[in-house]
């Protein structure tokens, strides 16, 4: 009997990455409060959100269903950088990242019944120096609006990235190696790892 897998996300990027691994799954977005709690560090924040997303969906099903939740934050110093709501916010965020190294922290959680496992992947990203004109033109592509840290590495903003240390797919939104390892702990295998 095959296990039902649900991705607790409406992110097209996470969906593509999970499909790339050869999993069969359904997508259901989890509606949760994504506010940062007082005294919460970035790893605690993304871990809590990934777990909450998976649990909200898992509660709607019986214990045979496996739910995968994930959350990604862009972090500069102690700042968790959210999605920009305006051009001014986009300029403020990307000016902060310009010519600097920042971290992208992605948590992946899997929930099945009462069992929950979570892990965190941290990737360092080096940005080139950006002009305000480049940032403004980038905003008008429409790409940064729904992206944590105001950029998507897999899109136009890939040209801003000098190098990364860590998982590229985690920066996009779902670390491939760690996700497949975690799902296998729950008996969920992709079409290529099945016996």
- Contact call for residues 72 and 144 (beta carbons, < 8 A): no
Q: CA-CA distances (angstroms) from residue 11 to 8, 64, 96, 118, 194?
A: 9, 24, 25, 19, 26
Helix (H/G/I), strand (E/B), else coil: 77: coil
- The catalytically annotated residue of 31, 33, 71, 126 is 71
Give the whole-angstrom CA distance, residue 30 versus residue 27.
10
- Report how far apart, in Å, the C-alpha atoms of 98 and of each of 20, 90, 92, 149 are: 31, 12, 10, 12
33 carries an active-site annotation:
no
User: Is residue 76 within 8 Å of residue 98, measured between CB atoms?
Assistant: no
Residues with catalytic function: 71
């Amino acid at each position: 009997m095959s296990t039902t897998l649900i991705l607790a996300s409406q992110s097209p990027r996470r969906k593509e990455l999970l499909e790339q691994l050869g999993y069969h799954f359904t997508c259901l977005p989890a509606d949760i409060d994504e506010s940062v709690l007082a005294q919460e560090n970035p790893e605690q924040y993304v871990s809590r959100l990934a777990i909450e997303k998976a649990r909200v969906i898992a509660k709607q099903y019986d214990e045979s269903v496996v739910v995968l939740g994930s959350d990604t934050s862009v972090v500069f110093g102690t700042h968790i950088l959210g999605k920009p709501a305006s051009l001014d916010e986009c300029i403020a965020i990307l000016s902060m990242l310009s010519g600097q190294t920042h971290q992208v922290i992605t948590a992946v959680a899997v929930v099945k019944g009462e069992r929950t496992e979570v892990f965190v992947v941290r990737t360092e990203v080096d940005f080139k120096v950006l002009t305000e004109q480049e940032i403004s033109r980038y905003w008008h592509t429409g790409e940064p609006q729904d992206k944590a840290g105001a950029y998507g590495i897999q899109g136009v903003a890939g040209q801003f990235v000098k190098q990364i240390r860590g998982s590229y797919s985690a920066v996009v939104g779902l670390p491939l190696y760690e996700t497949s390892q975690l799902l296998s702990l729950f008996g969920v295998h992709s079409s290529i790892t099945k016996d």
